[in-house]
A and B are shown apart, each in its own frame.
Chain A
Amino acid sequence: MKRDSLILSLLLPAVLVFSGCQTMLTATEMVTTQAESIGMIDPSHARAIKKSTGAVSRSIEEFTPEQEYYIGRSVAAVILSKYQPYTNQPADQYLNLLGQTLAQASDMPEIFHGYRFLVLNSDEINAFATPGGHIFVTRGLLRCCRNEDAVAAVLAHEIGHIQLKHGIQAINKARVTDALATIAAESARTLAPNEVAMLTETFGGAIMDITTTLINNGYSRSFEYEADNAAQTILRRLGYDPNGLVEMLKVMGKNLKSGGNDFAKTHPAPQDRVDKIQQKLDIKYSPVRTPEARQSRFMMAVGKI
């Protein structure tokens, strides 16, 4: 019996790859029922098989894009209670034109409410992305950019964090389990008031987990490198100079103050990121070549920020 479970647990993931999960579930259920009816396996065994395939599909269940959006809205609201917006229309317009264009070249161009960008009035070198598509960049970080290709790299890196669901993964695992259990119960009926209260408490905890990670602790180094790789893919697809990110990181290396409560604390050292990128892409640094029209619109919007 134990050995069968082992075989099943080893083979199921492989089968899931070959056929869609949906097909797998339907097929498993049909065949298992069939086997049970002809007496090939006993009912308890049949139940166990049905249950274990169900568990596989539930464990990969994630929050819907709509729920990620609501989590993101509150994370954005918390960030905006700690940082003031710069409130400069040309800068915000430019960031949204550039950022929303970049998002369309990403692997996840469509999210529930789209991607939105905002400049924060802070000298810190910082940027934040919420699971709902809200992306914030400080004036301090924009000052590390000498051309549009560099700004594109900054925004594409943040889009990368959203696309790779890094924010959602910052939520405490037990909280995710709690939330999904309460939410699953909701498919059959509306939630009782105490359940709404429970869900709100979990929600508040999730917002805290994400904002603490974004503002204080930072993601793991591997998440940062993954976001850099995603950024490079986006930039390449659109035809931006891959040296944009390298150049921005070099300026950042000069501008960052050690002990600062910003990228100095939450991100790998700029030079380490440059090394990883160059190693990955096998590129040698050469100064960014950007067309004149691209450079003049960059200068107009954020060049003197």
Chain B
Amino acid sequence: MFRVRTFLLVLIFLCVFTAPLFSATQEFLSVQVKVGQLRAAPSFLGSVLASLAYGDQVALIEDKGAWKRVAIRGGKVKGWVHMSAITAKKIVLQAGTADVKTGATSGELALAGKGFNAKVEAEFKSKNKNIDYTLVDRMEALAIKPDRMQAFLKQGQVNLPEEVAP
């Protein structure tokens, strides 16, 4: 009994005090949105340096509120990305890749296109012929370009704060 309790205390002590050591090593994050943007400044008004694709790995350099400064392409390009666009889970594009074989657990891994996906949607659609996705597709095409958004903000005398705290 005593041994077990001592063990538990040691375990908790180690977890709390070694956490900074673990995070001091290079941390990689995955892009979890369809298309992400790497920006020159920690703001949606910052110019876009590069586009990020779903599942891309980025290396964390610096934290600033809700924004993370990251490096891509082996450190050649550095910029800012909003925390909601990235995840600590590793996103793997297809099942059967090396990472899956090494036995990474589901907590560390998310498979792109896994679970509820286009295939499930197609199957659902075939069983519910009265449901039409044409209007959904048309709605999804209503993306607003950044320059139009900036003009809209200015015209309406509205300000997007530089940095939005999480």
- Mark A residues whose CB is within 8 Å of B: 4, 7-8, 11, 15, 18-28, 31-32, 35, 40-41, 45, 49, 54, 57-58, 61, 63-67, 69-71, 73-74, 76-78, 80-81, 85, 92-93, 96-98, 100-101, 104-105, 107-114, 116-118, 134, 148, 179, 182-184, 186-190, 196-197, 199-200, 203-204, 206-207, 237-240, 291, 293-294, 297
Whether the Cβ atoms of A41 and B3 lie closer than 8 Å is yes
User: Is the beta-carbon distance between B152 and A98 smaller than 8 angstroms?
Assistant: yes
| Majority DSSP secondary structure for residues of A touching B | helix
Q: Are B15 and A179 in contact (CB under 8 A)?
A: no
Which residue on chain B has the smallest CB distance to residue A114? B143
Residue of A nearest to B153 (CB): A101
Chain A residues whose C-beta falls within 8 Å of the C-beta of B124 in the assembled complex: 74, 200, 203-204, 207
| Residues 10-62 of B at the A interface (beta carbon under 8 Å) | 10-12, 14-16, 18-19, 22-23, 32-34, 36, 44, 54
B72: Cβ under 8 A from any A Cβ:
no
Please report the C-alpha to C-alpha distance between residue A11 and residue B13 in the assembled complex, in whole angstroms: 11
Q: Which residues of A contact B75 (CB under 8 A)?
A: none
Chain B interface (Cβ < 8 Å from any Cβ of A): 1, 3-5, 7-8, 10-12, 14-16, 18-19, 22-23, 32-34, 36, 44, 54, 66, 82, 84-85, 88, 91, 95-96, 100, 105-121, 123-124, 127-128, 130-133, 135-136, 139-140, 142-144, 148-149, 152-153, 155-161, 164, 166
Min Cβ gap B37→A in Å is 9
How far, in Å, is B114 (CB) from chain A's closest CB? 5
Assuming the contacts A66-B117, A73-B136, A186-B115, asked whether A23 and B23 have C-beta atoms less than 8 A apart, the reply is yes
Given A19-B16, A134-B139; A190-B95 close (CB under 8 Å): yes
